[in-house]
Amino acid sequence: MRAPLVIGNWKMHGTLVEARALAAGIRDGLKRPRGVQVAVCPPFTALAAVSEILAGTPIQLGAQTCHHEAAGAHTGEISPPMLAELGCRWVLVGHSERRKEIGESDELINRKLRAVLANGMTPVLCVGETSDERRQGLTFTTVEGQLRAGLAGLGADEIAKTILAYEPVWAIGTGVNATPQQAQDAHAFVRKRVGQLCGEAAAKALVIQYGGSVKADNAATLLGQPDVDGALVGGASLKADDFLAIVRAGIR
Ligand code: PEP
């Protein structure tokens, strides 16, 4: 059985004081999560502080992105070994905000994904269509293209170590979530396509998160879909109680 994974993506929110308080609130409200994996991705500046607060708890640490090289003349960047040193276990790659705002290409995302794996962490590859693409009936074409490019050159064993996150761009931060059926259809598609790359057995074990306006009041139906294995949560992960309610909805 797949262990669902709920990740809080704090984006560019949280001074140290705020990040510490949020991490402590999540820690205190979640003593022994069973049947669900939980992680938070604070801003880089708060990783060390949050790591201290979560030490010894089952709540894991993740990062929102990274550079694809281990070191070098890349002003302002953070490398995978730096994240691993801080105790990060997960790294988001290909988030639509970075694709759009920073112009991250599929090719760059693929390099980052490989670098995360090479440094012993787990990449969370985000894919999803824009509202225009959905309107034009291109949802699956877009998602398939991002999957193929993002996972290009990876062996079946490496793909099996990767987490997928289906995040329709039109649902991120808009308050308009995908319907449970839309999410299920996309997740089943992702599982099938990735299965062609890594084999059916590995595809069955693959964790595919849904992301896009997941809230405490819609989490149970979204996360109750057979191919939806937890959530990548933005806005609602910034309040401990809301995030904890989503985590509980993810338990299988
Ligand atoms: C996200 O940032 O990945 C996300 C899904 O954001 P939100 O939950 O705010 O839509």
pLDDT digits (tens, 9 = 90+) for 94-115: 999 999 999 999 999 999 999 9
Q: Which of 97, 129, 133, 167 is catalytic?
A: 167
Residue of 9, 65, 90, 166 to mutate, ligand 1, most atoms within 8 A of C-beta: 9
The tokens 């988001």 sit on which residue? 92
Q: Is 167 part of the annotated catalytic residue set?
A: yes
Q: How confident is the model at residue 32 (pLDDT cuts 50, 70, 90)?
A: confident
Q: What is the pLDDT of residues 160-188, one digit of tens each?
A: 999 999 999 999 999 999 999 999 999 99
E-only strand ranges, the chain: 5-9, 37-41, 60-63, 88-93, 122-127, 163-166, 208-211, 230-233
What's the pLDDT at 153? 96
Give the position, in ligand 1's atom list, of the atom nearest the Cα of 174: 10
- Mean pLDDT score across all residues of the chain: 97
Whole-number Å distance, alpha carbon 72 to ligand 1 midpoint, is 31
Q: At what angle do helices 240-249 and 16-29 cross, to 10 degrees?
A: 40
3-class DSSP state of 125: strand
What's the pLDDT at 124? 98
Percent of the chain past pLDDT 70, that is, above it, reads 100
Q: Is 95 part of the annotated catalytic residue set?
A: yes
Calculate mean pLDDT across residues 212-240.
98
Whole-number Å distance, alpha carbon 134 to ligand 1 midpoint, is 18
Q: Are 89 and 95 in contact (CB under 8 A)?
A: no
What's the pLDDT at 1? 77
Calculate mean pLDDT across residues 9-26.
98
User: Is residue 168 lining ligand 1, measured as CB closer than 6 Å?
Assistant: no
Q: What is the pLDDT of residues 51-90, one digit of tens each?
A: 999 999 999 999 999 999 999 999 999 999 999 999 999 9
Enter the tokens of residue 97.
Answer: 């905000």
Give the position, in ligand 1's atom list, of the atom nearest the Cα of 167: 5
User: Is residue 100 lining ligand 1, measured as CB closer than 6 Å?
Assistant: no
Q: Which of 68, 95, 104, 129 is catalytic?
A: 95
What's the pLDDT at 107? 98
Calculate mean pLDDT across residues 14-31.
96
